[in-house]
Amino acid sequence: MNRPPSPAAFADLRRQAKSRLRARQRPPQAASRKPQAEADPRRLLHELQIHQVELEMQNAELQKARDDLETALEKYTDLYDFAPVGYFSLDEQGRILEANLTGAALLGVDRSRLINQRLLAFMAPTTQGVVRNLLEKVFAGRGKQVCEATLRNGAGAAFMATFHGASAVSLGGPRKWCRVTVSDITTLKQAQEAQHRVEALSVTNQGLRREIIKRQEAEEALKQSEQHQTRLLVQSRQMQQQLRHLSHQILQAQEEERKRISRELHDEIAQTLVGINFHLEDLFRDTTLNPRGLKRKIAQTQRLVESLVNIVQQFARELRPTTLDDLGLIAALHSFMKDFTKRTGIRVHFTAFAGVDLMQSPHRTVLFRVVLSALANVAQHAQASRVKVSLRHIAEAIHLEISDNGKSFQVERVLRVRKNQPLGLLGMRERVEMLGGAFAVESASGQGTTIRAQIPFAAPPAH
């Protein structure tokens, strides 16, 4: 609504009107003089002309103001009707007084049909109370209010919307009303839900990745376990094969030893006993012998008995020397090495600590058998001229080392189980490992062969 012009504006308008009127008329001639009677009508005409010019100027301004208002109205209409949100004017009962085109499009109803309809009628029953509470707070003067609710358009489709409510001043009377903007946030909610699903999926994927890593680690551990089990199975089969081979070799060695003992008993002991029996029968039959002849016969018989005793003692020493039990390991080894050098010509250098005889009998026996087997191999295969044997006590264990200066051999090939393999090295290793010990063999060209055995030091139990 336009206000009347102020006195200053009116005076300015009058000056502009006079200026325009002078521009339209010719200036009066100074020489001409008119009577006083004609001056008054002319003045009145001049005033009317000035007033006409003022009216024209006011009309032009009014036309311009109307054009400006129409332009502003078009802009307002565009801004109002085609705003990205819906605008609604509501009274205290929630009836729609005005609505823009966006609001009508949100509700899916023609704008003319929305007037005087209740906005709550387009609400889902579960969210009507939320919007009703918003309107009550707005009309109570509590400032701007915001809420979210579910709307249903004319086709019955539901969508989520945000409501912004604010009170308005009525220019046309005491009737109260408010402005409410409605924004469709369905896409936003869907995006938020999608984001939440993505975040949940991300968390799930992280859990799945961790689970995959754990399963991969478990699978790798399982593969390693399977490989380890396979190696153990192969080792077990190899050990079983070795045990079978050892058992076969032991049985074969026992059978060969029985044959040798049987042959010795038949060839030496039996023949000696037959000779003794023959001499005894000769003494029994020949009663005419003089004392000298009798003594000679008895002496021959005594020599045969003495030879038989020596043979029996030799068998006993070969089976198990009594020196090992009576005098100890060191004495037994000294006796054997002395006889070994005499038989083979191979010199043996032997060193030991005195406490070795404090060990339990099975441990002493194992060390004795390992030394005997090693020296037997040296005499049979090494072509050596000297051997060193040492027994040391280191860190609660007995260390046995046997080295020679003979020819070398391929240790792995010899230790690998094969048919008709010599029992020596395998037998030594088995004896040592039965006591929880360790056995190793080294052989190099020009350096000879070294056998190392280590067993725990086990003292005999106290009585």
CATH code of domain 327-456: 3.30.565.10
Residue count (the chain): 463
pLDDT digits (tens, 9 = 90+) for 354-377: 888 888 888 888 898 899 889 988
Amino acid at position 395, single letter? A
| CATH topology agreement for domains 86-184 and 327-456 | no
Higher pLDDT, 2 or 309: 309
pLDDT digits (tens, 9 = 90+) for 181-220: 999 998 888 898 899 999 999 998 998 999 999 999 999 9
Helices (H), 168-185: none
Q: What are phi and psi of 434, to 5 degrees?
A: -65, -25
Once rounded to an integer, what is the mean pLDDT over residues 296-313? 75
pLDDT digits (tens, 9 = 90+) for 264-277: 666 666 667 777 77
With bands split at pLDDT 50, 70 and 90, how would you rate the model's confidence at 346? very high
The pLDDT assigned to 137 comes to: 92
Task: Give the dihedral sign, CA 223/224/230/236.
Answer: negative
Contact 161, 184 (CB under 8 A): yes
pLDDT digits (tens, 9 = 90+) for 142-159: 889 999 999 988 788 888
Once rounded to an integer, what is the mean pLDDT over residues 400-405? 93
Q: H/E element holding 307? A: helix 291-319
**Quick check: pTM over 0.95?**
no
The pLDDT assigned to 176 comes to: 83
The pLDDT assigned to 435 comes to: 86
Once rounded to an integer, what is the mean pLDDT over residues 109-122? 89
Contacts of 451 (CB under 8 A, 6+ apart): 370, 374, 400, 401, 402, 403, 428, 439, 440, 441
Contact 178, 165 (CB under 8 A): yes
Round the average pLDDT of the chain to a whole number and report it: 80
Centroid of chain to Cα 387:
57
**Which of these, 329, 367, 351, 337, lies nearest to 453 by C-alpha position?**
367
The pLDDT assigned to 162 comes to: 92
pLDDT digits (tens, 9 = 90+) for 196-206: 999 999 998 99
Q: Residue ranges of the domains in the chain?
A: 7-23+38-81, 86-184, 327-456
The terminus-to-terminus CA distance of the chain in angstroms comes to 131
* CATH pick for 86-184 out of 1.20.1280.290, 3.30.450.20, 2.40.50.100, 3.30.70.260: 3.30.450.20
pLDDT digits (tens, 9 = 90+) for 3-15: 555 566 656 666 7
